[in-house]
Amino acid sequence: MLSLHHHHLPSTTNAKPQFPQTTTNLRHSTTFPKTLAPKLKPKPYITKSLLQWNRKPQLSGETPRVVVVTSGKGGVGKTTTTANIGLSLARLGFSVVAIDADVGLRNLDLLLGLENRVNYTVVEVLNGDCRLDQALVRDKRWSNFELLCISKPRSKLPIGFGGKALTWLVEALKARADGSGTGAVSPDFILIDCPAGIDAGFITAITPANEAVLITTPDITALRDADRVTGLLECDGIRDIKMIVNRVRTDMIKGEDMMSVLDVQEMLGLPLLGVIPEDSEVIRSTNRGYPLVLNKPPTLAGLAFEQAAWRLVEQDSMQAVMVEEEPKRGFFSFFGG
């Protein structure tokens, strides 16, 4: 869950990182000096920031970043990831609009605890029953986070302009800062929570996206679907695809009952955005309608989501993963304690 970079590696991916040697430092790739000037002498490795949250992340890429959170298989944590990364981004100071593109089975409002405030959806906007700004639900906890639902559970989106409607929405959100006078700004991030499957809902959700976050769990069913979805995304022209491996249990990995994160990466060949450990607090926070990243004190999964959000901002990927829990070394360890 940490990003480890070498200061003077020519590329972070074309060579095996010499880790965990003493020359390895925790810093971010955006600080690499990209110059063709010959280096006179090798500089010592400098740790710019030991931990990623010691500074505000630098937003890279063209805004608004339109990111679709998808998986193929259901129940792997797309909506949980959207909610937590969205609120993490808001906490980091970025303006975020989360779109629940699950037409029939929306849940993002529940996870965010905003279910009672969704009066209008995109369907009403399209029909002219309300304006777009009236359909956006602003979170009271973090006012730079807004939720937009595609439809109410029983209403149906017209088949003809599912994808087009999302593209219009993104364009309208981009243009929001142009003199609307309401203090609304163009969002930095538009997160689209994609429905499961590769049906019309999936096609609708990925239409306006420039990049994708693929959620998977370390089991073969989710991996097969993830591979297929990755193929479809690549065919559709979305090249910036990173994955989050969810519900990882280090104890099972140690007992070789679960694929490790590196095994998953070897099978899918995608850069890692985050590794989320299995955490009972996820279910608790889901039921409370209070995203995990707002828990105090933070939980393991919440910290992992924060780190993933951090990397998303900087278009970074993980260079080191947590593999197993080290045995505690205490006074009683001699006795097996």
Terminal C-alpha separation, the chain: 28
214 binding another protein? (CB under 8 A): no
Check residue 143 and give left, alpha or beta (phi > 0: left; psi -120 to 50: alpha): alpha
Using CA atoms, how far apart are residues 209 and 70, in angstroms rounded to an integer?
11
30 binding another protein? (CB under 8 A): no
Distant-in-sequence, close-in-space partners of 212: CB < 8 Å, separation ≥ 6: 67, 68, 69, 70, 206, 233, 238, 240, 241, 242
Q: Of 28-36, 63-71, 187-195, 282-290, which segment contacts another protein by CB under 8 A?
A: 282-290
Identity of the residue, 63 or 167, whose beta carbon is nearer to another protein in the bound complex: 167
Query: Sign of the CA dihedral 241, 224, 81, 24?
Result: negative
User: Which of 117, 287, 288, 333 is close enough to bind another protein by CB under 8 A?
Assistant: 288
110 binding another protein? (CB under 8 A): no
- What are the tokens at 272? 């890692």
Q: Of 59-67, 69-77, 213-221, 295-303, which segment contacts another protein by CB under 8 A?
A: 295-303
User: Which of 84, 271, 274, 282 is close enough to bind another protein by CB under 8 A?
Assistant: 271
290 binding another protein? (CB under 8 A): yes
Binding residues for another protein, rule CB under 8 A, total: 96
Identity of the residue, 80 or 230, whose beta carbon is nearer to another protein in the bound complex: 230
19 binding another protein? (CB under 8 A): yes
Min. distance of Cβ 85 from another protein in angstroms?
A: 14
User: Which of 58, 175, 220, 283 is close enough to bind another protein by CB under 8 A?
Assistant: 175
- Residues 301, 31, 5: CA angle, nearest 5 degrees: 55
Min. distance of Cβ 40 from another protein in angstroms?
A: 27
